[in-house]
Structure 1
Amino acid sequence: MDINDLKPASLFHYFGEVCKVPRPSKHEEKIRKFLIEFAREHSLEAKEDEIGNILIKKNAYPGMEDRETVILQSHMDMVCEKNSDVTHDFLVDPIETYVDGEWLKAKGTTLGADNGIGIASELAVLADDSIKHGPLECLFTVDEETGLTGAFALKEGFMDGDILINLDSEDEGEMFIGCAGGANSTAEFAYNEVDIPKNYFFFSVAIKGLVGGHSGDDINKNRANANKLLNRYLSLLDSKYDLYICNIDGGNLHNAIPREASALCAVEMKDKENVRVDLNIFLAEVEDEFSVTEPNIRMELSSENPVDKAIDRETTKNLLKSVYAVFNGVFAMSQDIPNFVETSSNLASIKQKDGKIVIVTSQRSSILSARKNVSKVVRSAFELGGAKVCTAEGYPGWKPNADSEVLKVAVDSYKRLFGEEPKVKAIHAGLECGLFLEKYPRLDMVSFGPTLRGVHSPDERMLIPTVEKFWNHLLDVLANIPVKK
């Protein structure tokens, strides 16, 4: 069975078409062209703003012209992560999908259902004239994953609807009416290159096999952070041996829990076997600590050819201590919503280039003052180590509106279709809705979608039976949008 055999056929057809179009964050040129051509082929009005956001309009189904105008919204870009043993160029190659039981997956890469299934839903509605709906606008934004660039740049007057349905949620049966705001804090350590003494043992050490995941949705699941684990092992070695770090690299994206991290190091030749023994002991300890959440954790150590230079010793110690001290994980739980993460931080990436070590972290909170506080906590740890730190302006949260009219329609629809009450929730991840509300304060919004798991990692997968439920629910909501007041 492949994607063409799945139901609903029209929705999976368009998802398959979207998977063929490369769309990394900040490289949405091909998907933008695809959407404009789609609009032209279906004789639909389309426009594009200066940043690349696209709006496609469709007239109401006959007899429904008096309904409120609905905006369906999703983002064009996808997180591009792959396993280290997979050859894939996200700028050129299509996503290769396959069916594994009840799940749709990709071959060694992110699937891009976040938010490709949202794009496909909009296209399927636009292409089918038998679907009942009022006046419709479909908004496709750019660069949601790495900076919410499209939502930030969206201007007043680009769209006209009063109701917005965001299609970027990942738990079928749950309606989201609020989200966290967030900001990145970036630390920069400047270092000097120093010579490494003669007769040293050079080795690479790598953390692999971690689950990773979304730094919002998955931050409360006690998954290991590859950067934290690598730093912990290196700190152990630094406390016992004459350790030189020649290169360090871990993680990639600010909104992904890092799955892999590695370093090239050197110690005195007499300690060659000791670092291997220490690794075995350390690995046994972390396997025990993360026995439930990280069943496939691996650490690899291999000898390497000598290099000439390393990071100076003072910077090495400041770096290791700062990364050890910096907060990572759930900082506070909500006092209002049971089992809801209020505030968190993710140690996302460590990169070394041109005499600098750059560390990117991401803080989230549903309370602005709490987000600023945890950003200050992170900033302080790095500044104590001598790093230069910059916290970005960030993006706003979306305050829940319990009196939302479209929420009532969505909840009533779900109960009528499936005979059960949906969960109404806020989400710790960032959605573009907070930014839309700044530009369009009249908007009445709700977010829902099919069930996705492992997003932002090569383990990303979509639960096939929930796609049809999501689709039927979306169509019923569109058919029951109220008359414009």
Structure 2
Amino acid sequence: MNQDVMNLEPKALWTNFEALNAVPRPSKKEEKVIAFLLDFAKEHGIEAFQDKIGNIIMKKPASAGMENRQTVVLQSHIDMVCQKNADTDFDFDTQGIQSFIDGEWVKAKGTTLGADNGIGVATMMTVLADKSLVHGPIECLYTIDEETGMTGAFGLESGLLDATILLNLDTEDEGELTIGCAGGVDTTVTATYDQEELPAGYKSFRLSLRGLKGGHSGGEIHLGRGNANKLMNRLLWLTNKTYGLLVSEIEGGSLRNAIPRESFAVVSVLANKAADFKQHVAEMEAIFKSEYSKADPLVEIAVEEVNNPAQVMTAKFQEQLLNAIQACPNGVIRMSNDIEGLVETSTNLAQVNIKDGQFEVLTLQRSSVDTAKDDIARSVGAPFRLMGCKVVHEGSYPGWAPNPSSAVLKEMESLFEKQFGRAAVVNAVHAGLECGIIGEAYPGLDMVSFGPTIKNPHSPDEMVEIGTVTRFYDYLLAILKDIPVKG
């Protein structure tokens, strides 16, 4: 653990964050962090239990004189997105995150930091352990597998929580009070394909498209960053038309909810066209650098000669494949007519994996309008259905409909202005939050999401602004102290 980070204010929160980050916690592999949190509760004499799906619930009685206040549930997810740079040697299943201070920010060495949603988790730990705080009854809900399926939120049973107010700690811009979010659905494409022997007279190359920023496929989809899978396919499509390219494998992207930063392909061209092919790749790199000079200026394409593969795709499948990926929608589809600047509907071509006769494409569609979400999912699947692939839509989760007349929102707006001398920004977001799902199990919960400033989540450039964590925590304590009495 980094002692410099642990000495930041508030020290207890940053110490808990460092302790949490020392524990591996990939999505769907939360066993170690669950044990860590249950040990924490036992050490501090906090009531804690695990529900049937794997979520952890902790409860803390009201401080003296605050027993008549409404019960508040603080909520964060315990899993993190595991992304690393290609040149970083790191195992998310066994190693802890290595954080460091860079000016006004805390970052990680070559990996995601886990501030999404680790700062929220550490905040809840700090509130539970501090016996000096003034507050009404508090419950803390630590959900599992938010990043790859919202499994914990979906599996949460009614009757476990007594709260009437939910404060989600997963918003990533200081000063924003979020009261709505998009829903989502996963679209997965699979197929098998025939291969044939590589003819004589060919040279083979490994293409490496790197340097893209990537990022959160909801919160950052509107920034116009390059999608490595779309750019690689564009390169292959054009090269195929010009040089009669033969493709043996493609591997791009790593997580469904992250904009893909890298893509790799093994291709073959006639030996007498190899020099022209490499020049063509250099020209395409220059085009990409020009087109993305503002949003993704570090994009690059490396060409490395490799041994010839034994087999390549058949010409028919390759033509169908490159056309289908070319036709597959990606990025922002529609902006909201109701909230200025809010993305209504988007889709992310997250992963393309093609090798040894097996073909898989993973995508994620988001929308604040359920019918639009379903429509764009059908559009994503359509070009692949035309080539005979299996297309499955699954893991659909609802959006969170805004409630501008929320009583806790009004209280939080007033407290924010009093504490910081400016108005909070009340908004809805295109990213997925668990509030809508939890609200189905607990109808009537008054819900708001907020948090400190976190930049570049879901990428190795993730960082959290130190000063905003201090202010976020002070603001949360003021909210808990000011929760209204039971109605």
* Fold-level similarity (TM above 0.5): yes
In 1, Cα distance between equivalents of 2:458 and 2:314: 34
1:115 corresponds to: 117
Structure 1 SS opposite 2:249: strand
Matched, 1:483 2:485: yes
Structure 1 SS opposite 2:223: coil
Tell me if structure 2 keeps the 8 A contact 1:75–1:142: yes
| Further displaced range: 320-329 or 236-245 | 236-245
Alignment of structure 1 residues 69-468 onto 2, 5 Å = 69-353=71-355, 355-468=357-470
| TM-fit CA distance, 1:5 | 2.4
Structure 2 SS opposite 1:392: strand
2:473 to 471, 474, 483: 471
In 1, Cα distance between equivalents of 2:209 and 2:230: 10
- What amino acid is aligned across from residue 219 of structure 1 in structure 2? I
In 1, Cα distance between equivalents of 2:48 and 2:241: 62
| Further displaced range: 197-206 or 109-118 | 197-206
- What are structure 2's unaligned runs of at least 5 residues? none
| TM-fit CA distance, 1:376 | 1.4
In 1, Cα distance between equivalents of 2:54 and 2:356: 32
| TM-fit CA distance, 1:217 | 0.4
In 2, Cα distance between equivalents of 1:363 and 1:7: 39
| Further displaced range: 1-10 or 244-253 | 1-10
In 2, Cα distance between equivalents of 1:261 and 1:18: 31
| TM-fit CA distance, 1:393 | 4.6
In 2, Cα distance between equivalents of 1:190 and 1:218: 33
In 1, Cα distance between equivalents of 2:76 and 2:395: 23
- What amino acid is aligned across from residue 371 of structure 2 in structure 1? S
| Further displaced range: 240-249 or 210-219 | 240-249
Q: What is the Cα-based RMSD across aligned positions, in Å?
A: 1.0
| TM-fit CA distance, 1:386 | 2.8
In 2, Cα distance between equivalents of 1:411 and 1:13: 29
- What amino acid is aligned across from residue 107 of structure 1 in structure 2? K
| TM-fit CA distance, 1:451 | 0.3
Tell me if structure 2 keeps the 8 A contact 1:451–1:467: yes
In 1, Cα distance between equivalents of 2:356 and 2:161: 44
- What are structure 1's unaligned runs of at least 5 residues? none
1:22 corresponds to: 24
In 2, Cα distance between equivalents of 1:376 and 1:91: 35
In 1, Cα distance between equivalents of 2:405 and 2:283: 56
- Cα deviation, 1:150-188, whole Å, max 9, x if unaligned, reads 111111112111110000110000000000000011112
Tell me if structure 1 keeps the 8 A contact 2:246–2:267: yes
| TM-fit CA distance, 1:39 | 0.8
Tell me if structure 2 keeps the 8 A contact 1:52–1:150: yes
Identity %: 48
In 1, Cα distance between equivalents of 2:283 and 2:30: 46
| TM-fit CA distance, 1:391 | 1.1
In 2, Cα distance between equivalents of 1:435 and 1:187: 26
In 2, Cα distance between equivalents of 1:212 and 1:246: 25
Structure 1 SS opposite 2:191: strand
| TM-fit CA distance, 1:240 | 1.5
| TM-fit CA distance, 1:392 | 1.2
| TM-fit CA distance, 1:379 | 1.4
In 2, Cα distance between equivalents of 1:133 and 1:352: 55
In 2, Cα distance between equivalents of 1:267 and 1:311: 13
The number of aligned residues is 485
Structure 2 SS opposite 1:177: strand
Structure 2 SS opposite 1:147: coil
- Cα deviation, 1:388-420, whole Å, max 9, x if unaligned, reads 211115000000011111111211111110000
| TM-fit CA distance, 1:38 | 0.8
Tell me if structure 2 keeps the 8 A contact 1:318–1:386: no
Tell me if structure 2 keeps the 8 A contact 1:189–1:319: no
| Further displaced range: 406-415 or 138-147 | 406-415
| TM-fit CA distance, 1:206 | 1.1
In 2, Cα distance between equivalents of 1:339 and 1:163: 28
- What amino acid is aligned across from residue 221 of structure 1 in structure 2? L
Tell me if structure 2 keeps the 8 A contact 1:321–1:385: no
| TM-fit CA distance, 1:88 | 0.7
| TM-fit CA distance, 1:354 | 5.5
- Cα deviation, 1:457-481, whole Å, max 9, x if unaligned, reads 0000001111111111111001110
Tell me if structure 2 keeps the 8 A contact 1:189–1:315: no
- What amino acid is aligned across from residue 392 of structure 1 in structure 2? E
